[in-house]
Amino acid sequence: MNGCACARRWFAPFIVALGAVVTMPAFARDQHHHAMTLDRDGMVMNANADTLPEDCSEISDNIEIEIRVGRDHALRGLTYGFNQHEWRVPPCSRLIVTLVNEDEVRHQWMVHGLPRYLYPQGMFHLEVSGGKRKTGTFIVPSDDATYLAHCDISQHTEQGLKGQIVVGGGGDSLPSIPGISAPRFPDRY
């Protein structure tokens, strides 16, 4: 009995230390890959105000975009909406984006498909608590392209929070952008 308790006393700190070793690198790895600022109002991930995409020789323009998000902007049949679902910007422009959340629930404006050498996982991401706002800056590349911007919180994309950033002449338009494009597969009912 005594020996058993003794072993447990020895074991407890060991387990705590092991836990720290196992969890710390994962945390550190995430910090390394994503440049993130975070407070109680929300989060800006992978902001880039200064580093030019390698295909751009200079910043072509500074574009300030205010995006309001919430139920009041939902189009017919949808639950949520952005105040607009398409943003047209020049190649190599610097976008200073403010996401204003008019709902109680959390929302995001998450951009995909950006160059991975500048934006980890190709993402730029704003996330804002209910009733708050966040501003973040990023620079788009030179090529004509269309980037998905959406809210990745459960079902919010399908419920209306899907948009596209059209750089220059744009690429292929994305399906199911509220007010912009039809679904890829029409409803059968």
Q: Which residues bind Cu ion (CB under 5 A)?
A: 107, 151, 153, 156
Q: How far is the CB of 86 from Cu ion (least distance, A)?
A: 18
CB nearer Cu ion, residue 77 or residue 186: 77
CB nearer Cu ion, residue 52 or residue 74: 74
Question: Cα(79)–Cα(6) distance, rounded to whole angstroms?
Answer: 59
> At which residue do the structure tokens 């998905």 appear?
148
CB nearer Cu ion, residue 87 or residue 109: 109
CB nearer Cu ion, residue 7 or residue 75: 75
Question: Cα(78)–Cα(85) distance, rounded to whole angstroms?
Answer: 13
Query: By C-alpha distance, which of 178, 171, 173, 183 is closest to 69?
Result: 178
Coil, helix or strand for 22?
helix
For residue 188, is it left (φ>0), alpha (ψ between -120 and 50) or beta?
alpha
Q: How far is the CB of 58 from Cu ion (least distance, A)?
A: 35
What are the two backbone dihedrals, phi and then psi, of residue 122, each rounded to the nearest 5 degrees?
Answer: 70, 20
Q: How many helices (H) and strands (E) does the chain have?
A: 1, 11
CB nearer Cu ion, residue 92 or residue 110: 110
Coil, helix or strand for 32?
helix
Q: How far is the CB of 139 from Cu ion (least distance, A)?
A: 25
Q: How far is the CB of 105 from Cu ion (least distance, A)?
A: 7
CB nearer Cu ion, residue 151 or residue 177: 151
Q: How far is the CB of 69 from Cu ion (least distance, A)?
A: 7
Question: Cα(166)–Cα(173) distance, rounded to whole angstroms?
Answer: 9
Q: How far is the CB of 57 from Cu ion (least distance, A)?
A: 37
